[in-house]
């Protein structure tokens, strides 16, 4: 939040307003009603942000996502003529990688389509290429459910290409094309 690390979890959100800034307070005390039982020792994170003035008044308190990007969003509390925006960043690719690893050790790891999708995600982003290549290989030759399909070999060729293994990429793509041509007869 605003460039500061905070562990994944559930938090109460408090705001301390000053004339020219707002302090966002994330508290581990999530059961207390309102600020009546607020204790500073329960703070997990405090960050300062700049409030903004709204053109139109907001009658009822609301939280609105005012910007969305792949790895972050900006959430704003809006009430009356005040907006208190703050940036929330998430390491999406790390979360995806962790979740894929968890899923691929289950029965889902035996489905070639899952391995292809997982590897393509990382090939498209040019990250975790060695691990993605291992999934692409398993999609084609994994026991007992590897599939020697055009899509599987094409994906594997893409992985070799991403890792600058051009000869392997070319020979693998030839296999993919042979498989595709045999299906068209």
pLDDT in tens, 30-40: 998 888 889 99
- The residue whose two tokens read 């993605």 is 132
Residues 51-93: pLDDT tens digits? 999 999 999 999 999 999 999 999 999 999 999 999 999 999 9
- Rounded-to-integer distance, Cα 171 and Cα 166, Å: 9
pTM, two decimal places: 0.70
Single out the residue of 67, 132, 78 nearest to residue 100, CA to CA.
132
Strand partners of residue 49: 22
Structure tokens at 58: 């907001």
For residues 134-163, give the mean pLDDT. Answer: 89
Q: How many C-alpha atoms does 165 have within 13 Å on its Cβ side?
A: 14
């Amino acid at each position: 939040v605003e460039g500061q690390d905070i562990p994944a979890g559930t938090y109460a959100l408090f705001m301390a307003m000053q004339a020219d800034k707002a302090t966002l307070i994330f508290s581990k005390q999530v059961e207390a009603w309102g600020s009546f039982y607020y204790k500073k020792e329960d703070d997990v994170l405090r960050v300062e942000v700049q409030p903004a003035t709204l053109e139109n008044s907001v009658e009822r308190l609301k939280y609105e996502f005012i910007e969305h990007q792949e790895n972050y969003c900006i959430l704003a509390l809006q009430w009356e003529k005040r907006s208190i925006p703050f940036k929330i960043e998430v390491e999406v690719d790390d979360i995806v990688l962790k979740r894929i690893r968890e899923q691929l050790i289950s029965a889902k790891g035996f489905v070639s389509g899952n391995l292809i999708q997982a590897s393509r995600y990382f090939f498209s982003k040019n990250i975790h290429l060695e691990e993605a290549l291992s999934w692409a290989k398993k999609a084609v030759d994994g026991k007992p459910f590897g599939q020697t399909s055009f899509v599987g070999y094409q994906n594997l060729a893409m992985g070799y290409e991403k890792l600058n293994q051009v000869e392997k990429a070319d020979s693998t793509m030839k296999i993919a094309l042979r498989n595709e041509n045999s299906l068209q007869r």
